[in-house]
Amino acid sequence: MRRKLQSGWIQETPGGIWRGHWWAYVLDAQTGIAARHHRSRVLGDKHSMRKFEAEAELARLMTSVNGKTALQRDDRV
């Protein structure tokens, strides 16, 4: 399976938090088929972080996601 390069997206929550979202591709342990899973992470407080800073933080997180050439196994039960 080819690598999927992505940039993710930013969401402002009602509580004033910047949240970053992206899709992670993992291998299913039983079938061996790649599946797409939604991931998200809190990037920071909106009152102390501007939107461009939140986007830069998400871009930093995406370098680790986009840099992997092999799919991760999904060993959740």
Q: For residue range 37-77, what is the model confidence (pLDDT) as tens digits? A: 899 999 999 999 999 999 999 999 988 877 765 556 666 65
What's the predicted TM-score (pTM) here?
0.73
For the stretch 25-58, what's the b/e string if a residue is b when 16 or more beta carbons lie within 10 angstroms of its beta carbon?
Answer: bbbeeeeeeeeeeeeeeebeeeeeeeeeebbebb
Mean pLDDT of 6-29: 90
Distance CA 27, CA 38 (A): 14
pLDDT at 56: 94
